[in-house]
Structure 1
Amino acid sequence: MSEGVPTLYEWAGGSEAFERLTRTFYDRVAADPIVGPVFKTMSPDHPAHVAAFIAEVFGGPKTYSQQHGGHREMISHHLERHLTEDQRRRWISLLVDTADKVGLPDDPEFRSAFMAYIEWGTRLAKINSTLGKDAKLTDEPMPVWGWGVPGGPYKPAGD
């Protein structure tokens, strides 16, 4: 925590919150006719890896970078997937519905930051999905997402 302002990771509830989100989300994805086929060969560890990635992006431990290869590795998983705009939008829709279902914070500031990252990340994934397996990937730094506005998280009136 810097200067008393929690990270998005802390505000969301830490690793447990992101693990709950991705477990529930990928159960829904597997049954979805639009995005399910993209994940038909998903490993059982996939939800935990994505949880570690999102947690790190939002200011949590650097688990994904240290154990799974960082941003470059995440990009490599999207190569040659040829994702469609309908799949991208459905992925977002399912994730937002799941965030509500599992109780991620729903204050405007958190959700704005969360959605900004999801929008940015899914557009990047779609772009990268058109690249071939032989694409020369650079060592892009891990994205670090914050509140996006000075002043930090939402505080209800009276707090």
Structure 2
Amino acid sequence: MEIRRGTLSTETFYEQVGGEPTFRRLVRRFYAGVAEDPILRPMYPEEDLGPAEERLVLFLMQYWGGPTTYSEERGHPRLRMRHAPFTVNIAAHDAWLSHMREAVTELGLSPEHEQQLWDYLTYAAKSMINTPE
């Protein structure tokens, strides 16, 4: 049930956009692109992208106000540290955002929710760059 006081909703972004099913659709679509990407695929040593997909789903759900399963299972996200072993350059950044853009668009969120999500994703992608070329 949504509780409103004036125009403010107490629902989290996670709840407003449809909860776990929405984030699972987003990440499933994203990794479908990653699986075929010559720049990004080598960054995933597992033969099956399933574990990486699950980690991203859990992280995004927690970040946006959903269950805290990610931290319970993996501790603090430490995103930059976790990505440090990989060469994340502008090409990787652009490829990542390209696949994520397609995934976000396919969700069919309201313009406001889509912009809020996209703003975060572009910020996060930029902050992961660790190699100039």
TM-score (norm. length: structure 2): 0.80
Q: Which residue of 1 aligns with 2:39?
A: 34
> How big is the alpha-carbon RMSD for the aligned residues of Structure 1 and Structure 2?
2.3
Corresponding position of 2:90: 85
**1: CA distance, partners of 2:3 / 2:120:** 20
Going by fraction, where is helix more abundant, 1 or 2?
2
| 1:74-131 deviation digits (Å, cap 9, x = unpaired) | 4332012121112111111111101223x241x221122111110111122224x79x
Residues in 2 aligned to 1:113 and 1:53: alpha-carbon distance in whole angstroms: 17
TM-score (norm 1): 0.69
Picking from 55, 59, 81, the partner of 1:49 is 55
Distance 1:43 1:113, change over 3 A: same
Q: Distance in 1 between matches of 2:57 and 2:17?
A: 12
- The answer (yes or no) to whether the contact 1:30–1:40 under 8 Å persists in 2 is no
Q: How is 1:94-113 mapped onto 2 (pairs within 5 angstroms)?
A: 94-101=99-106, 103-105=107-109, 107-113=110-116
Q: Which runs of structure 2 are paired with 1:3-18 in the superposition (5 Å)?
A: 3=4, 4-18=9-23
Q: What CA distance in whole angstroms lies between the structure 2 residues aligned with 1:108 and 1:21?
A: 16
Q: Are 2:69 and 1:63 equivalent residues in the alignment?
A: yes
Tell me which amino acid in the other structure corresponds to 2:50.
P
Alignment partner of 1:6: what SS?
coil
Deviates more, 1:55-64 or 1:27-36: 27-36
Give the ranges of 4+ consecutive aligned residues of structure 1 lying more than 6 Å apart after TM superposition. Answer: none
Deviation at residue 38 of structure 1 after TM alignment:
2.0
Partner residue, 1:149? none
Give the number of equivalent residue pairs: 126
| 1:17 positional shift | 1.2
State the Cα distance separating 1:5 from its structure 2 match. 4.3
